[in-house]
Structure 1
Amino acid sequence: MTTSTYLFGDTPPDTRSDNAMMLDALAGMLDPFSRRQLRRIGIRPDARCLVVAVGASCIAATLAEMAAHGEVTATDIDLAPCRRHPRVRLVRHNIVTDPLPDDGFDLIHIRLLLAHLPADQRSAVLARLVDTLTPGGLLIVEEFEPTWRTSVLSAPNLDHADRLFATYHQAFGTALTTSGNDPAWGRRAHHAMRGLGLHVETTGHTGTWTGGQAGCLLPYATAGVIRDRLATAGMTVDDIDAFRDLLLHPDLVVKGNLVLSHVGRAPTSS
Structure 2
Amino acid sequence: MSESTYLFHDTTGTRPANAMMLNALADLYDPFSRRRLREAGVRPDARCLVVAAGRSRVAAILAEMAPQGEVIATDIDLSPCRRHPRVTLLEHNIVTDPLPGGMFDLIHVRLLLGHLPADHRETVLTALVNALTPGGLLFVEEFEATWQTSVLSAPNLDDADRLFTVYHHAFQAALIESGNDPRWGRRAHHALRRRGLTVDTRGDTGTWTGGSPACLLPHATTEVIRPRLIAAGMPPADIDSFRQLLHHRSLVVKSNLALSHIGRHAG
Deviation at 1:238, TM superposition (A): 0.4
- Structure 2 Cα separation of the partners of residues 90 and 162 of structure 1: 42
- Structure 2 Cα separation of the partners of residues 2 and 123 of structure 1: 16
- Structure 2 Cα separation of the partners of residues 70 and 212 of structure 1: 41
Which residues in structure 2 correspond to 1:178-193 (within 5 Å)?
Answer: 178-193=177-192
Which residues in structure 2 correspond to 1:185-224 (within 5 Å)?
Answer: 185-224=184-223
Q: Is the 8 A contact 1:52 1:76 kept in 2?
A: yes
Query: SS at 2:262's partner residue?
Result: strand
1:66 maps to: 65
Number of residue pairs the alignment of both structures matches: 267
Query: SS at 1:134's partner residue?
Result: strand
Q: Is the 8 A contact 1:2 1:120 kept in 2?
A: no
- Structure 1 residues 32 and 3 mapped into 2: Cα distance closer, same or farther (>3 Å)? closer
Q: Is the 8 A contact 2:104 2:132 kept in 1?
A: yes
Query: SS at 1:164's partner residue?
Result: helix
Q: Is the 8 A contact 1:26 1:214 kept in 2?
A: no
Query: SS at 1:240's partner residue?
Result: helix
Query: SS at 2:161's partner residue?
Result: helix
Q: Is the 8 A contact 2:49 2:104 kept in 1?
A: yes
Deviation at 1:3, TM superposition (A): 9.2
Deviation at 1:40, TM superposition (A): 1.2
Query: SS at 2:244's partner residue?
Result: helix
1:174 maps to: 173
Report the AA paired with residue 158 of structure 2.
Answer: D
Q: Is the 8 A contact 1:138 1:266 kept in 2?
A: yes
Which residues in structure 2 correspond to 1:48-59 (within 5 Å)?
Answer: 48-59=47-58
- Structure 1 Cα separation of the partners of residues 213 and 115 of structure 2: 21
Cα displacement string for residues 240-268 of structure 1 (whole angstroms, at most 9, x for unaligned residues): 01111111122111111101100000010
Which residues in structure 2 correspond to 1:1-270 (within 5 Å)?
Answer: 5-13=5-13, 15-268=14-267
Structure 1: runs of 5 or more not aligned: none
**TM-score normalised by structure 2 residue count:** 0.97
- Structure 1 Cα separation of the partners of residues 3 and 82 of structure 2: 29
Q: Is the 8 A contact 2:10 2:224 kept in 1?
A: no
Deviation at 1:78, TM superposition (A): 1.3
RMSD, aligned CA: 1.4
- Structure 1 Cα separation of the partners of residues 61 and 158 of structure 2: 41
**TM-score normalised by structure 1 residue count:** 0.96
| Percentage of identical aligned residues | 70
Cα displacement string for residues 144-179 of structure 1 (whole angstroms, at most 9, x for unaligned residues): 112100111111111111110000000000000011
Q: Is the 8 A contact 1:2 1:121 kept in 2?
A: no
Cα displacement string for residues 8-67 of structure 1 (whole angstroms, at most 9, x for unaligned residues): 124322x11110000011011111111111111111100000000111111000000000
- Structure 1 residues 2 and 119 mapped into 2: Cα distance closer, same or farther (>3 Å)? farther
Q: Is the 8 A contact 2:215 2:247 kept in 1?
A: yes
- Structure 1 residues 12 and 18 mapped into 2: Cα distance closer, same or farther (>3 Å)? same
- Structure 1 residues 35 and 177 mapped into 2: Cα distance closer, same or farther (>3 Å)? same
Report the AA paired with residue 156 of structure 2.
Answer: N
Report the AA paired with residue 124 of structure 2.
Answer: V
Query: SS at 1:81's partner residue?
Result: coil
Deviates more, 1:4-13 or 1:231-240: 4-13
